[in-house]
Each structure stands twice: as C-alpha cells, then as structure tokens.
Amino acid sequence: MKTVVIKECTDISIANTYTFDLSRIEVTHCVGCWTCWWKTPGKCVFNDLNEFYHEYITADKAIYLAKVTKGFISGNLKSLLDRMIPLYLPYTTYKTGESMHVKRYEKYPDIEFYYDGQFQTDDGLEIFEKYINRVFYQFYSKNIVVKPIEDFVGIGGYKK
C-alpha cells in the first residue's frame, strides 16, 4: 500500500513514505489563472508541486498531520488544498445531487487527517471536522478519518 504524508507536525515521522513537509515548504498561492484546466490540463503554471501531484494521485492513502490554529487549518495547508484543483476537471457534475468537479483520475487516496490543536467549543470542533470531511468528499476520497493527533500517536505513529 502506497502512502503519502503531508505534515506540519515536525516531531512526527513515518518511515517508507513520500513525505511532503509543510513545515519546510511554503506553498505558492493559487492565482486562479485556470491554466491547469485550459492551457496545460492537469499541470499548474507553477511547477513546484509536480512531484507531489504524482505521489498523491498514485497513493492508496494520504495521511495529513496538520496544525490547527484559531479553529482552522494553516494558510499553507489551505494553499496546498487550493492548488490540488489540477487533479480534477474543470467541468461540474450533479450526480450526487450537488455541484462537484468531475474526476480527472480513476482513483483518489483514502484520507487519514490528524490535527494538532485545541478548539474553544464543541461546535468549533464539529464545524472543523465537517469542513475536512467535505473537502475530501469533494476530492473523491472514499474513506475519510478525522481525529486528533493523539490518536495517530496512539496507534503506533512515530513521535521523535
């Protein structure tokens, strides 16, 4: 099983995986130019994520180890999610009863999303979990798990 790791938590490592370390990489913001859809289908005008796109789309599972501040993901992770739009077609479908981009690829990885951070209220946590689930539902991931980082470490995740 091929696994890709997207991490902001510097004290956690997972052996034998492709790791995209957001604590060391500043993701360029999407400029909304639509080049990835019309001029170079599936390829962003910025070439900084080409290796990541390949690793992500060929993975069976993507594990996110995210920092949460003020009840939301970091700006850097949000930029990465925005920049994943080349993995989908510019057309929309209504097959599920709602508007979604059409898949570009046959399969997308299952998601394990672990967050490191606190929420001021239970409602804040619920909104956050629903947001993460919606993002990856829209990204065509079939199995989506959203849990606190302690659950990852508790199931054998390696903490430095």
- The domain segmentation of the chain, as residue ranges, is 3-159
How many angstroms separate the CA atoms of 86 and 17, rounded?
A: 23
The tokens describing 19, both together, are: 């790791």
Superfamily, domain 3-159: Flavodoxin domain (3.40.50.360)
Render pLDDT for 95-106 as a digit per residue (tens, 0 to 9).
889 999 999 999
Enter the pTM of the model: 0.92
Render pLDDT for 66-114 as a digit per residue (tens, 0 to 9).
999 999 999 999 999 999 999 999 999 998 899 999 999 999 999 999 9
For the cut 70, the answer to whether the pLDDT of residue 52 exceeds it is: yes
How many angstroms separate the CA atoms of 122 and 56, rounded?
A: 32
How many angstroms separate the CA atoms of 135 and 82, rounded?
A: 10
The tokens describing 82, both together, are: 């925005």
